Amino acid sequence: MPNVPFADQAYGAYQQARATNDLDEKLMKVGPGTPGGEYLRRFWQPVAFTNQLDKGLPLRLRILGEDLVLFRDGSRRLGLLPLHCSHRGSSLEFGIIRERGIQCCYHGWLYDVDGRILDTPGEPKSSPLRCRTHWHGAYPIQEYKGLVFAYFGPPDRKPPFPLFDMFEAKNFDHEPWGGLVRDCHWLQVTENVVDPVHTAFLHTIISGSQFTDSFGVIPALRFEETPLGVAYVASRRVNDNLWVRCAEVMLPNIYQLPPVWETGEQPKSDQLPIQTVWEVPIDDTHTINLGFNHYDPGDPITREEFHDQVGFGQMADRPYEERQRVPGDWDAQVTIGPAGRHARERLGWADQGVLMLRRRLRQAIQDVEEGRDPIPDAYRGNAAIRTHSRDWVRDSPATGNEDQDRKVSEELTEQFVTEIIPPLPGTT
């Protein structure tokens, strides 16, 4: 898809307004049968918090453009079914929880958690609706650490549940987090993670520090494809230290971030990520995030401060004038539009992470279209999946020679990449 050129004269908005506004549909559509939607369905996706079912009521959901109902029956089993009853289409969000399954409030059709229709009251015993086995449809689900995950793809292609190494990190409290709904496409939220320049400007330089002042140092950048997806490696000089920071997007829509309260003032190695988050498409123009905070009691901030730091600016919950003066991620990402028009972007060198991610996604979507398995090899096997997001801070006094200091920074960054990010399969 060709990009729209810049205007060729002063006051040239007239021509720009008439330029192409095409949507990159292969990447941007998420519904059933769409290329991007079929790809996303090959992975486990979180859909809700388990405590949302504590009241014993069904929960209406919309995920990947599908309307669904999630429930826990009287036997404590979880079910995720298409929302509308197979009989007349009434919503099962008003269904009655039974010992086995959920019963439609309208005519009493009863559904098991696997989608089997257990009863069709009112039908005679000879009715084909009663004497034969029928299936309403259901999706496989799994509970994990306070979240409910579902698999929406072909049953014979279901991958192992992704157990990332951070989930078992010692001395951390792993708490479910998220539920924030953004009025935009999932990709423009996810791309934010591999756009490190925005942390210097949006979160520090533009309107004061939202993290720490050290984020205002524009970093030297390196972008890497990892066995799981795409990462950036950003190096900054902070006094006599070099701070190397790595954030990673794991395919298709998962990310990990190191601490946002890092100052780079104290040497340390392997400061592990504070979040593992899925940006789950509700539909083409709405996204919900669900995942885990990884809280280390040894962190220099309280749990309340932790929540304040990771939650600031993520929603439109502040006064409008305040958001204009101190914009956050919501204001930068959602205002791109419900689904960003990539043809209207002008991407540069610092946008390599965004370009790498889109390229990996397009290739994976093509794999699905051509009958290949899109699941990265690193997601398979019984061992915990190795991830790569972390911070290093190393003692490295400045020499006063700009070229020499740059060389030292590049050498440390290379050491980080060599030790932390393994090469892609087939590249060594």
Domains along the chain with CATH numbers: 48-157 (2.102.10.10), 165-420 (3.90.380.10)
pLDDT in tens, 89-116: 999 999 999 999 999 999 999 999 999 9
* pLDDT confidence of residue 313: 64
| Position 121 pLDDT exceeds 80 | yes
Nearest partner of 167 among 312, 345, 294, judged by Cα: 294
pLDDT in tens, 396-420: 888 888 888 888 888 888 988 898 9
Instruction: Say what percent of the chain tops pLDDT 90.
Output: 55
Beta-sheet pairing, 66-72 with 78-82: antiparallel
pLDDT in tens, 153-196: 999 999 999 999 999 998 899 999 999 999 999 999 999 899 88
* pLDDT confidence of residue 146: 98
Number of Cα atoms under 13 Å in the Cβ half of residue 33: 0
Q: What is the maximal distance between C-alpha atoms in the chain?
A: 91
Instruction: Say what percent of the chain tops pLDDT 70.
Output: 89
311 or 224: which leads in pLDDT: 224
pLDDT in tens, 21-75: 677 889 999 999 999 999 999 999 999 999 999 999 999 999 999 999 999 999 9
Give the distance, in angstroms, between the CA of residue 213 and the centroid of all CA atoms in the same chain. 27
Q: Which residue has the tokens 């810049």?
A: 6
Nearest partner of 196 among 231, 237, 239, 241, judged by Cα: 231
pLDDT in tens, 354-390: 999 999 999 999 999 999 999 999 998 888 999 999 9
Nearest partner of 272 among 301, 294, 300, judged by Cα: 294
Q: Are 274 and 293 in contact (CB under 8 A)?
A: yes
Q: Which amino acid is at 194?
A: V
| Position 213 pLDDT exceeds 80 | no
pLDDT in tens, 122-139: 888 888 888 788 999 999
DSSP readout, 224-293? EE-SSEEEEEEEEEETTEEEEEEEEEETTTEEEE--TT--S-S-EEEEPPSEEEEEEEEETTEEEEEEEE
Confidence band for 328, pLDDT divided at 50, 70 and 90: confident
pLDDT in tens, 301-320: 777 877 776 677 667 788 88
| Position 428 pLDDT exceeds 60 | no
Confidence band for 197, pLDDT divided at 50, 70 and 90: confident
pLDDT in tens, 149-162: 999 999 999 999 99
